[in-house]
């Protein structure tokens, strides 16, 4: 069967669930991953074909996509801020909004530092996408990362090795942590922030597949992780050190209030590419 013909079938089968553009993007992601072919190859070589065995593999993937298994989990990898990351059901799939947070941190620290470099801590690292990206693009930095999930840390460690950066990973429950032990110049976190009342807004493929431990908080204490991390930052941030958070889009003002009450200064709330309040920075 010609690949072009199968492409039409693949997109047609998925369009009841996904829009046509998204279905097409899935096709080309899988084509590159499974066949090492790009869109341009298909455009230039009209007669490329799939064998019967290849069609069986594609059909199996197609059925999983129909069940709304995220394509990143099916392929076992995704891209984030120009780097490749292994992903699995132990970690959240990195989002474009988080790339914006990383970009903000990098651009805020594009200056020469002393030979020791910056000390950066990523709390709730998951796949390691934030910590590893910062280690890669702020080369003088010493980067540390913690997570409550040992399985997530195993994935993060593999990602650090494959991206050839050094990050010190530690298994720790931040809510039970009294002191972070070191002084850091930057603390960053993308903690759980989706309230149970917002579950209906979450896409089925996320709700059914991604780790709830990394997503949800109780409705009556939605800022529990932010409050705890800010308390630790009061002790463990250096003078004028920076605290960055990815946040719940509905709780921007609440986050400003929290940081003001805890005497952080130069607080800045930013919107993401979709126009939602999504990230906040403050200084000690």
- The 10s digit of each residue's pLDDT in 133-192 is 999 999 889 999 999 999 999 999 999 999 999 999 999 999 999 999 999 999 999 998
Interatomic CA distance for residues 104 and 188, integer angstroms: 11
d(CA 78, CA 272): 20
Q: Is the pLDDT of residue 248 over 50?
A: yes
What average pLDDT does the chain have? 92
pLDDT in tens, 60-109: 999 999 999 999 999 999 999 999 999 999 999 999 999 999 999 999 98
Give the integer Cα–Cα distance in Å for 231 and 233: 5
Closest by CA to 189, choosing from 280, 57, 54, is: 280
Q: Encode pLDDT of 209-221 as tens digits.
A: 767 777 777 877 8
What's the pLDDT score for residue 115? 37
Q: Which SS3 state, helix, strand or coil, does residue 18 take?
A: coil
- Please tell me the predicted confidence (pLDDT) of residue 130: 98
Q: Hey, what are 218's tokens?
A: 């109780």
Locus of tokens 């709830």: 212
Asked whether the beta carbons of 222 and 99 are under 8 A apart, the reply is: no
Q: How far apart are CA 196 and CA 220, in angstroms?
A: 10
**144 touches 182 (CB < 8 A):** yes
- Per-residue pLDDT band for 203 (boundaries 50, 70, 90) equals confident
As a whole-number percent, the residues of the chain with pLDDT over 90 amount to 83
- Above 60 in pLDDT, residue 114? no
| Residues of the chain above pLDDT 70, percent | 97
Structure tokens belonging to residue 195? 């309230």
Averaged pLDDT, 116-122: 89
Task: With a cut of 80, say whether residue 208 has pLDDT above it.
Answer: no
User: At 78, is the secondary structure helix, strand, or coil?
Assistant: strand
């Amino acid at each position: 069967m010609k690949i072009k013909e199968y492409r039409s079938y693949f997109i047609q089968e998925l369009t009841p669930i996904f829009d046509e553009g998204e279905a097409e993007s899935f096709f080309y992601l899988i084509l590159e991953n499974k066949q090492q072919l790009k869109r341009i190859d298909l455009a230039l070589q009209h007669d490329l074909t799939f064998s019967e065995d290849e069609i069986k593999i594609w059909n199996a993937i197609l059925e999983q996509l129909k069940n709304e298994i995220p394509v990143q989990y099916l392929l076992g990898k995704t891209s984030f801020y120009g780097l490749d990351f292994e992903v699995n059901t132990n970690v959240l799939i990195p989002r474009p909004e988080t790339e914006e947070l990383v970009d903000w941190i990098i651009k805020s620290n594009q200056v020469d530092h002393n030979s020791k470099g910056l000390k950066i801590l990523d709390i709730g690292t998951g796949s390691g996408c934030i910590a590893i990206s910062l280690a890669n693009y702020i080369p003088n930095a010493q980067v540390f990362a913690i997570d409550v999930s040992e399985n997530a840390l195993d994935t993060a460690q593999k990602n650090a090795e494959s991206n050839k950066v050094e990050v010190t990973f530690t298994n720790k429950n931040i809510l039970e942590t009294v002191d972070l032990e070191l002084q850091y110049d930057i603390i960053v976190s993308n903690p759980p922030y989706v309230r149970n009342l917002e579950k209906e807004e979450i896409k089925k493929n996320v709700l059914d597949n991604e780790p709830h431990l990394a997503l949800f908080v109780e409705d009556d204490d939605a800022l529990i992780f932010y409050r705890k991390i800010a308390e630790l930052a009061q002790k463990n941030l250096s003078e004028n050190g920076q605290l960055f958070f990815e946040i719940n889009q509905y709780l921007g003002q609440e986050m400003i209030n929290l940081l003001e009450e805890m005497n952080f200064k130069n607080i800045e709330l930013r919107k993401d590419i979709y126009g939602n309040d999504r990230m906040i920075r403050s200084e000690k």
